[in-house]
Structure 1
Amino acid sequence: MRPSADPDRDRDPTGDYLLQAPVFHPALPFLTTIFGGLAPGKMVFVQGVISVEAERFQVDFQVGCSVSPRADIGLHFNPRFRPRPHVICNSLVHGHWMEETKLPHLPLKRGDRFELLFLLEEDHVKPFATSRAGDAVAKPLFLRSPDLEVPLSRTLPEGFRPGDSMTVRGLVCPDPQELRISLKTLDPSCSLWCFHVSFTDRRILWGSDTEEGHSSGAMLAPCFPFHPQRYFELLFLRQEDQVKVALNGTPFGQRPFPQHLAHSALELTVEGSLVLYGVQNSSQTSQEADA
């Protein structure tokens, strides 16, 4: 399809944002990535049930998941039920709490179901709280891009140098079989590494592709964090002699990287049971397609 002369004429109004698929019954504490960041106009919706013996709970909007040093927190929303119900709002910057705001009216009660809606505006966040029954159902909404069709292959002409990073964001299909992200030299017989997720036996391997097309390498984690119809964000960070990977902001493993190939032209391939939302390489001018 050719673009129209007027760039706003045939514009899809849903193309400027992404409605992430809901996460039901997550284990606590729960951590997830907000794709695209906390841009003005975004909303975050939280539903739950407050324990009858609860003293407090909190929702934090933070930058990453670093423990030492502790990640900055843009908004710390902390309802407290004792000694008197109230809400504390604050921010954490470089390990120091800022001046807190205390809200004396708490419309939440222990033992109740609740809904929290956070609306992001230019310079502040508006929280709304209600208590009601029912579950929200939201379907993922995104604009498909022909540049992100799977299988995907992209050349990294400047290689993968120390300090470079690659980010792969996607949505797992309803009935997934596997997900494979490979980095190869331009010689197809030489594979640097392959990040392989197998849904059939629920294993994650980070090693090398064999001639038969299978992956060999160490299993990364005893748990299996990928799920059908869930979004994910994989970050590959190149350091001097190794590559580190993080899943949804959480460190997930590392693998040696041959230094003599740092500046060699490489090929990135993504294939498997997924819909791609974005692929970005920090060493290239523009590799990310928004949805």
Structure 2
Amino acid sequence: MMSLDGPQNTISNPVIPYVGTILGGLVPGELIVIHGTVPDDADRFQVDLQCGSSIKPRADVAFHFNPRFKRSGCIVCNTLESEKWGWEEITYEMPFQKGKSFEIVIMILKDKFQVSVNKKHLLLYNHRISLERINTLGIYGKVQIKTIDFVSNAIFLPAIVKLSLYIEKSKSQSKFLLLVYFQGVPYIGKLHTALRPGCTVAIKGEVTKNPKSFAINLKTSDSKDIALHLNPRVKNKVFVRNSYLHDSWGEEEKEVANFPFSPGMYFELIVFCDAHQFKVAVNGVHTLEYKHRFKQLEKINVVEITGDVQLLDVRSW
């Protein structure tokens, strides 16, 4: 489940073709969330982030997102500038199905758009036109749209974390401890407090463009013990979890419904500790649970991050 924390405005049941102004433009950190349904007779539809709404000459399109349903289907992304299309970027993974509903989330980042469909990462598209010029959303073709949400200052939080976050927020804003900002790896930092049920660790970062793997360890400062070892192996799409106790690794856990990471993608990973297990979510989607093997939670006070990732922010509360 994705919880969206921040001001938002909603457009409900728009008539297609839809062309509407994006109030205040777009800035990094915002989301555009579109819920809709693909009709049974759909051949294609498109979502365009435009620089105005002119028809003649046609307004520039900074980001053209165009699912096409002929043959096995594909998604074509492109940019229109001075009435000329650039080079197509084609994704052959097709998450849309005729007759089925969908959720598109377009995350606005400083250098690219990041798109997920039905809570699964789909593609990245580097900016070819500056964000400042985008002021219009257009949706065209054979598609039914239920809602369009513009969400500012979005933070991804699974439901398991939401309650503890608001409790801590209401107690004191100082409960948030900013541990790192644009810091390299390997990174080692102290948690805000020793771990206990109800604690949360939140990590924001970007996977590098040619990754093999990275690791996040929750560990003790007075021994080599690692209570939780999260090791997404991006190249092989395997998400390994384990513990290192008494100088040896335990049995690996690997099962996951969908591998949540891709090269170059931005992520917000949340680790929530309860009395019996850790719960992990990536970009607002609950990903896995890991039962405690190291029982002395109060000794866990260090977070360590290594591998093919650029860190943007690490917090605990």
Q: Partner of 1:164 in structure 2?
A: 199
CA contact (8 A) 1:205 1:216 kept: no
User: Which of 286, 291, 306 lines up with 1:256 in the alignment?
Assistant: 291
Partner amino acid, structure 1, of 2:286: P
- Within 1, Cα distance between the matches of 2:235 and 2:253? 17
Report the 3-state secondary structure (helix = DSSP H, G, I; strand = E; otherwise coil) of the residue aligned with 1:253. strand
Q: Map of 1:56-67 to 2, 5 A cutoff? A: 56-60=145-149, 61=151
Partner amino acid, structure 1, of 2:314: V
Q: Deviations over 1:72-98 (max 9, x none)?
A: xxxxxxxxxxxxxxxxxxxxxxxxxxx
Q: Partner of 2:140 in structure 1?
A: 50
1:65 deviates by 7.2
Report the 3-state secondary structure (helix = DSSP H, G, I; strand = E; otherwise coil) of the residue aligned with 2:298. coil
User: Which of 227, 234, 239 lines up with 1:192 in the alignment?
Assistant: 227
1:55 deviates by 3.1
Q: Map of 1:129-144 to 2, 5 A cutoff? A: none
Distance 1:270 1:45, change over 3 A: farther
1:58 deviates by 2.5
Partner amino acid, structure 2, of 1:22: K
Runs of at least 5 residues in structure 2 that lack an aligned partner in the other structure: 1-26, 30-108, 123-131, 161-179
Q: Partner of 1:204 in structure 2?
A: 239
Distance 1:31 1:274, change over 3 A: closer
- Within 2, Cα distance between the matches of 1:44 and 1:262? 48
Q: Partner of 2:271 in structure 1?
A: 236
Q: Partner of 2:309 in structure 1?
A: 274
- Within 1, Cα distance between the matches of 2:294 and 2:133? 43
1:275 deviates by 0.7
Q: Taking every aligned residue pair, what percent have the same amino acid on both sides? A: 19
CA contact (8 A) 1:158 1:265 kept: no
CA contact (8 A) 2:218 2:229 kept: yes
Q: Which has the higher strand share?
A: 2
> How many residues get paired?
182
- Within 1, Cα distance between the matches of 2:303 and 2:267? 18
CA contact (8 A) 2:219 2:226 kept: yes
Q: Deviations over 1:89-135 (max 9, x none)?
A: xxxxxxxxxxxxxxxxxxxxxxxxxxxxxxxxxxxxxxxxxxxxxxx
Partner amino acid, structure 1, of 2:191: L
Q: Partner of 1:227 in structure 2?
A: 262
Q: Deviations over 1:215-234 (max 9, x none)?
A: 85211424322111110000
Partner amino acid, structure 1, of 2:306: E
1:247 deviates by 0.6
Distance 1:257 1:57, change over 3 A: same
Partner amino acid, structure 1, of 2:218: L
Report the 3-state secondary structure (helix = DSSP H, G, I; strand = E; otherwise coil) of the residue aligned with 1:263. helix
- Within 1, Cα distance between the matches of 2:246 and 2:222? 13
Q: Partner of 1:133 in structure 2?
A: none
CA contact (8 A) 1:21 1:231 kept: no
Q: Deviations over 1:160-217 (max 9, x none)?
A: 1111100010011111111100111224431111010102211011222489998852
Distance 1:200 1:192, change over 3 A: same
- Within 1, Cα distance between the matches of 2:135 and 2:250? 39
- The TM-score, its normalising length taken from structure 2, stands at 0.47
Report the 3-state secondary structure (helix = DSSP H, G, I; strand = E; otherwise coil) of the residue aligned with 1:217. coil
CA contact (8 A) 2:242 2:250 kept: yes
CA contact (8 A) 1:153 1:268 kept: yes
- The TM-score, its normalising length taken from structure 1, stands at 0.51
